[in-house]
């Protein structure tokens, strides 16, 4: 009953919704929380594919939101964590969410892990890619990973803004930060605003 009331209230407000899926989806959700302004009442969900009741509710919010964003955390290649078969199964599950996204929604996904061609074939929504390879909409360059702080430049639509992240020590963590920046862009924030949101972020504390 409580869930029904929540949905009724949501239908009146049509809050912005951010749904995160993929590997490290819960970490991406937690990273994105401080970068989302609380006053816009954005709802943010991490997809748990083992909970079918939650999946149905999340699809409802995604489909009915006035500003729906599906952010896909980087999916490791078969040479890293996930065998190719498991990667394909995970992408099949994510595809179920892509099909629920309205054409005015956003998909935020990695350009570098080879899934973007499939996403473009399945989605009529706006697609924002992030990555370290030329061709990504949001490109990280001039990367300097240090023992206490990592700095890099975020390049998007002709604009370049430096970012500093404390205690970021691995490339996978950099991809998650890029995904958060992509979520911010999809919400309408510019790179300078997003860099301010993330200025105090510390991987060891968050």
Strand partners, 110: 130
Q: From the first residue on, what is the mean pLDDT of each consecutive set of 10 residues in the chain (206 residues)?
A: 61 78 72 60 78 76 87 66 65 80 90 79 86 94 90 96 88 89 92 87 67
User: What pLDDT is stored for residue 78 in this prediction?
Assistant: 44
User: What pLDDT is stored for residue 59 in this prediction?
Assistant: 84
Separation between Cα atoms, residue 144 and residue 162, nearest integer Å:
11
For the chain, the maximum distance between any two Cα atoms, rounded to a whole number of angstroms, is: 52
Separation between Cα atoms, residue 126 and residue 104, nearest integer Å:
7
User: What pLDDT is stored for residue 161 in this prediction?
Assistant: 97
What is the second-level CATH architecture of the domain 2-198?
3-Layer(aba) Sandwich (3.40)
Q: DSSP H helical segments within the chain, as ranges?
A: 2-13, 25-32, 52-64, 84-98, 116-122, 171-187, 191-198
Separation between Cα atoms, residue 140 and residue 173, nearest integer Å:
13
């Amino acid at each position: 009953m409580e869930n029904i009331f929540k949905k009724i209230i949501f239908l009146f407000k049509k809050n912005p919704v951010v749904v995160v899926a993929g590997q490290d989806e819960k970490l991406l959700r937690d990273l994105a929380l401080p970068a989302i302004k609380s006053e816009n009442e954005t709802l943010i969900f991490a997809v748990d594919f083992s909970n079918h009741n939650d999946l149905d509710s999340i699809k409802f919010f995604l489909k009915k939101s006035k500003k729906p964003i599906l952010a896909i955390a980087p999916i490791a290649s078969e040479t890293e964590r996930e065998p190719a078969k498991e990667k394909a199964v995970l992408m099949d599950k994510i595809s179920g969410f892509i099909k629920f996204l309205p054409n005015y929604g956003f998909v935020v996904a990695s350009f570098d892990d080879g899934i973007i061609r499939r996403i473009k074939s399945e989605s009529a929504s706006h697609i924002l890619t992030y990555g370290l390879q030329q061709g990504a909409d949001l490109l990280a360059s001039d990367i300097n990973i240090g023992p206490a702080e990592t700095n890099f430049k975020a390049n998007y639509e002709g604009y370049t803004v430096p970012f500093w992240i404390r205690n970021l020590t691995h490339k996978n963590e950099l991809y998650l930060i890029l995904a958060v920046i992509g979520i911010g862009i999809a919400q309408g924030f510019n790179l300078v605003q997003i860099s301010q949101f993330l200025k105090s972020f510390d991987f060891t504390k968050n």
